[in-house]
Homo-oligomer: A and B are copies of this chain.
Amino acid sequence: MRTCGLIVEYNPFHNGHAYHLEQSIRKANADVTIAVMSGNFLQRGEPAITDKFSRTRAALTSGVDLVVELPHVYACQYADLFSKGAIATLDALGVEQVCFGSESGNIQPFLDGYNKWSTGKAVFEKTLKEALTSGSSFPQASREAYRKLNLTSDNFDLSQPNNILGFSYVKAIKELNANIEPVTVRRTKSHYHDEEIEYSIASATSIRKELFNQHLMTTHAKQAMPQSTVNELETYLQTAGRWHEWEGYFSLLRYIVQVTPIEGLQQIHGVIEGLEYRLKETADKVNNFHEWLELLKTKRYTYTRLQRVFVHLLTQLKAEDMLKATETDQVPYVRILGMNEQGRSFINKQKKKMTVPLISNLQQMTHEFLTIEERATNAYYAIIEPEVGRELKKQELTGPILL
């Protein structure tokens, strides 16, 4: 049984994901696919458009065999920590390969890149630090550091988001000494940040933009997603009364920033360098989330970084809560969100060999990551009517979803 891991957000699952899934299965010659999926908050610091359960069902219906959760402490983080959590999860499950999309579809430059990076680590760190000190944002600084190591050539360009994530996966595999083979497929022509849907392959960003603008399912959006995703999105909208986007959390975030004392804000993960004061000063000058982000944005504070801080504020994730995630290389458990028959037989085979517990609901074990998961869930559903939110939350205690 050849296994292939995918690291995903499926926000929402679209035709590009379906294509990537198909290509990955082919390239990895896989019998079973395992997706490590972010929960309700995502890597770039955003609430997911629908909850993790809705997105799990969409993924299973579209052919993923097993969906496991990337713990919240890893999900809304910079690429390296995000990747560590995802790779450690796949490794704990004994997955043999991980397949990601890249610009070239060729794994060799990633492996060579890792060797260059690994031997030039001292130069990399020094360049990064200097660039950060001089006021660059983290992405700019790391681009500069990669350039120093000749890791931004045409052939292997680490200024491309997909390449950066892929390279982080490769680094994580090597650094964790994980028994996983990295595989890459060439990504389709829609670019990660594209904002408009043009063809049946469109970026998740452009699909969300369309849906949030219209507040309902459109023909335009439909053509970019499998019918199962369309159904899930429509059902969620009908049930919860909304799709989740930052604007919906604005008044809550404003309250948090205005009423939490400065010392409280300072404890939040990512609130450093006086950001607590900038947050307080700007909170009462803006009328919506978008305006707030624009006002906070500087060369140094990228949108992504600021959005992650907002996730941490909303979920009250403190810097001290992150110690366990940053200091250990193992995940404390693997949580199954859903699976089909194929996924189930994989799990049955693996569970005897696994060294960490396999769980499916939040109350199956006690761990601080799960307490944080529960907080993140409560924060995510805070903008939903109580009766409905309560029903949706029940899925955290039942499950896994079986297809």
* A254 B382 Cβ-Cβ under 8 A: yes
Chain A contacts to B: CB under 8 angstroms = 251-252, 254-255, 258-261, 264, 284-288, 314-316, 371, 375, 378-379, 382-383, 386-387, 390, 393
With contacts A251-B382, A251-B383 known, what are 6 further pairs, Cβ within 8 A?
A: A252-B252, A254-B386, A259-B315, A259-B375, A261-B375, A284-B393
Given the complex of chains A and B, what is the CA–CA distance between A386 and B288 in angstroms?
A: 8
Contact of A316 among B264, B383, B390 (CB under 8 A): B264
Residues of B within 8 A of A386 (CB): 251, 254, 284, 286-288
- Give the Cβ gap from A34 to chain B, nearest Cβ, in Å: 31
* A378 B286 Cβ-Cβ under 8 A: no
* A316 B255 Cβ-Cβ under 8 A: no
A252 to B, closest residue via Cβ: B255
Subset of 27 A-B contacts with CB under 8 Å: A251-B383, A251-B386, A252-B252, A252-B255, A254-B386, A255-B379, A255-B382, A258-B375, A258-B378, A258-B382, A259-B314, A259-B316, A259-B375, A259-B379, A259-B382, A260-B316, A261-B371, A261-B375, A264-B316, A284-B386, A284-B390, A284-B393, A285-B390, A286-B386, A287-B386, A287-B387, A288-B386
Residues of B within 8 A of A252 (CB): 252, 255
A384 to B, closest residue via Cβ: B251
Residues of B within 8 A of A383 (CB): 251
Given the complex of chains A and B, what is the CA–CA distance between A259 and B264 in angstroms?
A: 14
A376 to B, closest residue via Cβ: B259
- Give the Cβ gap from A374 to chain B, nearest Cβ, in Å: 8
Residues of B within 8 A of A258 (CB): 375, 378-379, 382
Given the complex of chains A and B, what is the CA–CA distance between A379 and B259 in angstroms?
A: 6
Given the complex of chains A and B, what is the CA–CA distance between A80 and B286 in angstroms?
A: 41
Residues of B within 8 A of A286 (CB): 386
- Give the Cβ gap from A281 to chain B, nearest Cβ, in Å: 13
A-B pairs, top 8 by smallest CB distance, nearest first, are: A258-B378, A255-B382, A287-B386, A259-B379, A259-B375, A259-B378, A259-B316, A287-B387
Residues of B within 8 A of A382 (CB): 251, 254-255, 258-259
A385 to B, closest residue via Cβ: B287
- Give the Cβ gap from A264 to chain B, nearest Cβ, in Å: 7
Given the complex of chains A and B, what is the CA–CA distance between A87 and B5 in angstroms?
A: 70
